[in-house]
Homo-oligomer: A and B are copies of this chain.
Amino acid sequence: MQDRDLERLNDNAILGPLPESARQALLKDAFELDMPAGTTLFRQGEAARFIHILLEGSVALIGTSDDKGETVVEFFHSGAVFIMPAVILEAPYLMSARTVEDVRILMVPGEQFRTLVEQEHTLTLAVARELARHWRLLSRQVKDLKLRSAPQRLGAYLLSLADTDADSAQLQLTEQRGMLARRLGMTPENLSRAFSRLREMGVKARGRRIELTDIPALRRFCVYDDLA
């Protein structure tokens, strides 16, 4: 493993708090994979065989339906550990995962992870805390989907990527427009209309490069606070 990867693991929500012996036990049979953008890591319905630790790049969790195609439930970025609930409960994946950019992933055998979660208290606690954070992220998304209009959802998503205490920000989206539309629960056409609508709140978009020139106005429009 590269030095910068090892350094990143020290900051990782799951691996960071582990004593050295537990980390070694967890990573004993782990291996690294480099994969290009667009790779399917696993499919909805499959048994969960690995915990994926994202060392670099980003991944989309994708829900599929026979008649409606697919949607993006969430994007995961460097540092993310997924999908713990499926591994812990020995349950099939509820979603597929596909790489959005080129990625480097540390693959940890699921059974070793599950066994250590049962035995190693430091890991159990780190997992409980991380799942609590994940639950809050999804709760926000459910509120977002039910309470906000399409332009408000787009605005709130852009704000979540920025330092919202500043007045302005420059963002670089990692995902394609189509994937972003799915993550926000709208069609590509609605996404374009939402970007147009946000122009008057100082949102300038050029491809994946986004400029927010009036964050306070955008926050007001999206009813964006620390709770949503």
Contact = CB atoms under 8 A, between A and B. Distances in A.
A141 interface: yes
A136 interface: yes
Interface in A42-94: 44-45, 63, 65-71, 73-74, 84-86, 88-89, 91-92, 94
A227 B146 contact: no
Contacts of A86: 136
Contacts of A85: 131-133, 135-136
A14 to B, nearest CB: 11
Interface stretch (A122-130, A159-167, A199-207): A122-130
Nearest to A134: B135
A117 interface: yes
Contact of A132 (B88, B92, B146): B88
A172 interface: no
A147 B227 contact: no
Question: In the complex, which range does the number of interface residues on chain A fall in?
Answer: 35 or more
A12 to B, nearest CB: 17
Given A73-B139, A143-B71, A133 B63 contact: no
A68 to B, nearest CB: 5
Contacts of A129: 88-89
Interface in A191-213: none
Given A85-B136, A121-B121, A138-B138, A65 B128 contact: no
Contacts of A138: 135, 138-139, 142
A132 B89 CA distance: 7
Given A85-B136, A134-B135, A136-B85, A228 B117 contact: no
Given A65-B148, A121-B124, A128-B128, 15 more contacts: A45-B227, A63-B142, A66-B223, A70-B147, A73-B139, A74-B142, A88-B129, A88-B132, A89-B133, A94-B139, A118-B125, A131-B132, A138-B138, A142-B145, A145-B185
